[in-house]
């Protein structure tokens, strides 16, 4: 992957008469603070412990390009690579990385669905979304999933390094144009999150993703290491909570909520 420097500068949000009237917490505070930190973070981390990074992207060339760039920095350690969401979930559980660089559109399980599942299961793992999507719907869905940051794939190496270091330290980081787009959408009042998704438990979301991926109850049970009856119970609860009673309907819902992609 070719990574070129963007050289984007961000003006402090306090100079905006619109943003100055907004609360300093919640979604706005989260993105606003992350945008301001893009200039303040050091280029090289001074931490003693190396940051363990897991790369997740279905394109081998992209993974190799990112790995090549990051391997030049001693404070980063690439501990693994994954080509799809299901593999990413498995490897994250095994390797427990500090940071996961996560693509969105991947086979089997969407990157946002993986992030959703890891949020409660492995809360210490920080996810940095690395994708080409810059539309606002994706940005809000990314924040909802629990990702700590979002960097566009055409960002410069320096920006990617700052993002990794920031979220590893428990902060948030969003590419400047991404932060601006999300804030503008929030100001317009059109940024909404589906309450239906939040009704589902972590395991129910995972089962929903597998259903949308076309797996049978038996196949889902094998993937999750549980009994078929357990999967049937989860399926019944999902249908009742969402008031959707067909596989086609569940699949359509999962796609509309960004839990799975059309790949």
Q: Is 243 left (phi over 0), alpha (psi -120 to 50) or beta?
A: left
Query: 3-state DSSP call for residue 23?
Result: coil
- In the chain, what are the domain boundaries? 21-188, 195-256
Q: Which pLDDT score, from 0 to 100, does residue 236 have?
A: 94
Residue 17's CB is within 10 A of a number of other CB atoms, namely 7
More confident residue, 202 or 56: 56
Q: Is the pLDDT of residue 80 over 90?
A: yes
CATH topology of domain 195-256: Arc Repressor Mutant, subunit A (1.10.10)
Q: Is the pLDDT of residue 27 over 60?
A: no
pLDDT band of residue 245 (cuts 50, 70, 90) is: confident
Mean pLDDT, range 135-163, rounded to an integer = 82
Strands 149-152 and 99-102: unpaired
Q: Is the pLDDT of residue 189 over 70?
A: no
Mean pLDDT, range 46-65, rounded to an integer = 86
Mean pLDDT, range 109-131, rounded to an integer = 88
Burial (Cβ within 10 Å: 0-12, 13-18, ≥19) of residue 22:
middle
Query: 3-state DSSP call for residue 257?
Result: coil
pLDDT band of residue 185 (cuts 50, 70, 90) is: low
CB contact at 8 A, 130 and 57: yes
Q: Is the pLDDT of residue 13 over 50?
A: no
The answer to whether domain 21-188 has CATH 3.40.50.2300 is yes
Nearest-angstrom CA–CA distance, 179 and 159? 14
Structure tokens at 34: 């992350």
End-to-end CA distance of the chain: 21
User: pTM of the full predicted structure?
Assistant: 0.58
Q: Which pLDDT score, from 0 to 100, does residue 175 have?
A: 81
pLDDT band of residue 136 (cuts 50, 70, 90) is: low
CB contact at 8 A, 25 and 69: no
List phi, psi (to 5°) of 51: -90, 120
């Amino acid at each position: 992957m070719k990574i070129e420097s963007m050289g984007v500068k961000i003006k402090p949000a306090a100079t905006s008469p619109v943003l100055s009237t907004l609360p300093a917490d919640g979604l706005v505070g989260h993105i606003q603070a992350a945008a301001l930190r893009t200039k303040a973070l050091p280029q090289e981390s001074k931490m003693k412990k190396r940051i363990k990074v897991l790369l997740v992207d279905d394109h081998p060339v992209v993974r190799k390009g990112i790995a090549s760039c990051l391997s030049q920095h001693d404070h980063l350690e690439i501990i693994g690579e994954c080509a799809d969401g299901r593999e990413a979930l498995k490897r994250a559980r095994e390797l427990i990385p500090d940071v996961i660089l996560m693509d969105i559109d991947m086979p089997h399980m969407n990157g946002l669905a993986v992030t959703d599942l890891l949020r409660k299961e492995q809360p210490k793992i920080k996810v940095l979304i690395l994708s080409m999507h810059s539309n606002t719907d994706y940005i809000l869905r990314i924040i909802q999933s629990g990702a700590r940051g979002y960097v566009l794939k055409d960002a410069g190496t320096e920006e990617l390094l700052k993002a990794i270091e920031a979220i590893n330290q428990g902060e948030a980081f969003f590419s400047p144009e991404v932060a601006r787009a999300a804030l503008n959408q929030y100001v317009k009042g059109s940024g909404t999150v589906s309450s239906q998704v939040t009704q589902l438990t972590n395991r129910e979301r995972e089962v929903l993703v597998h259903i949308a991926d076309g797996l049978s109850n038996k196949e889902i049970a094998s993937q999750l290491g549980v009994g078929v009856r357990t999967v049937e119970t989860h399926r019944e609860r999902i249908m009742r909570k969402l008031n959707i009673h067909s596989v086609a309907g569940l699949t359509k819902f999962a796609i509309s909520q960004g839990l799975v992609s059309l790949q």
